[in-house]
Amino acid sequence: MANEVNENAPANSLDMVPVYIMGKLYYVPPGSTIMGALEYAGYQIKRGAGCREGFCGACATVYRTPDSYKIQYGLACQTVVMPDMYLAQIPFFPAVKKTYDIDELEPNDEVLSNIYPEINRCVGCNTCTKSCPQELDVMDYIQAALRGEIEKVAHLSFDCIMCGLCAARCPAEIVHYNVGILARRLYGKYLVKKGEYLPKRLSELKDGKFDKPMKEIMGLSREELIKRYYDREINFKIA
């Protein structure tokens, strides 16, 4: 996730927070996020960072605190450093994603458990829910998946950022976010009510109706894009 580029200067204030990054002691300002601490310590973040606002899930980080033997997990852009925290970055949380053709699936009660049978090992410990930085009811949507409730799984998992923290903590080795995205794909393709204008718009896109205006937009400067965004006419209808 991070590459070291220089040494961090010794702390000259009692207000600084000591943290260990890859086993080495650094002093960082209080209130720093893990990501901020890494950059303050002289690390250049080249991977494992995205939105920096807690919504992309790219910066999942492993850490320990001196008062516990347990390995903890969190998003580096949101988790605030604590004194004597030990940090370690890994490029991703490995997880097995099953291969399937969504066009060949049927939205029945067994489809989720057939593709991801490991959900049957869920022990209801709720560790996945406790580890979710989005505060989603992860265990609830796995239980819904066991019952074949595709729509409920899709709704409960809708805000998942696929950071992998739930899977990293699960004793049953369930990859919750892959179950959620399968449910959302099934729901979107087979169960949700289709928009009245969607087929027409898709046809227009396929015929190249918007190619010219899209090319024009892509050639605009940042300032011109901002101006067009705020000057645009907004049309909406409240049902």
Report yes or no: 44 and 29 within 8 Å, Cβ to Cβ. no
Instruction: Give the tens place of pLDDT for each residue, 152-195.
Output: 999 999 999 888 889 988 999 999 999 999 999 999 999 998 88
Q: Which of residues 88, 110, 130 is at a domain's end?
A: 88
* Beta-bridge partner residues of 45: 2
Number of domains in the chain: 3
Please indicate whether residue 129 or residue 45 has the higher confidence score (pLDDT).
Answer: 129
Positive or negative, the Cα torsion across 189, 154, 123, 178? positive
Best mean pLDDT range from 36-40, 60-64, 85-89: 36-40
Instruction: Give the tens place of pLDDT for each residue, 109-124.
Output: 999 999 999 999 999 9
Q: b/e per residue, 28-59, with b = 16+ CB within 10 A?
A: beeebbbbbbbbbbbbebeebbeebebbebbb
Domain of 151, in residue numbers: 102-191
* Residue 171 vs residues 121, 122, 175: alpha-carbon distances, Å: 9, 8, 11
Half-sphere exposure of 170 (CA within 13 A, CB side): 26
* Beta-bridge partner residues of 75: 60
Is 28 a domain residue? yes
Q: Which of residues 42, 66, 88 is at a domain's end?
A: 88
- Same domain? For 131 and 179 the reply is yes
pLDDT of residue 4: 44
Is 199 a domain residue? no
Q: What is the pTM of this model?
A: 0.67
Report yes or no: 115 and 150 within 8 Å, Cβ to Cβ. no
Q: Which of residues 88, 113, 136 is at a domain's end?
A: 88
Is 239 a domain residue? no
- Same domain? For 11 and 82 the reply is yes
- Same domain? For 187 and 223 the reply is no
CATH code of residue 69: 3.10.20.30
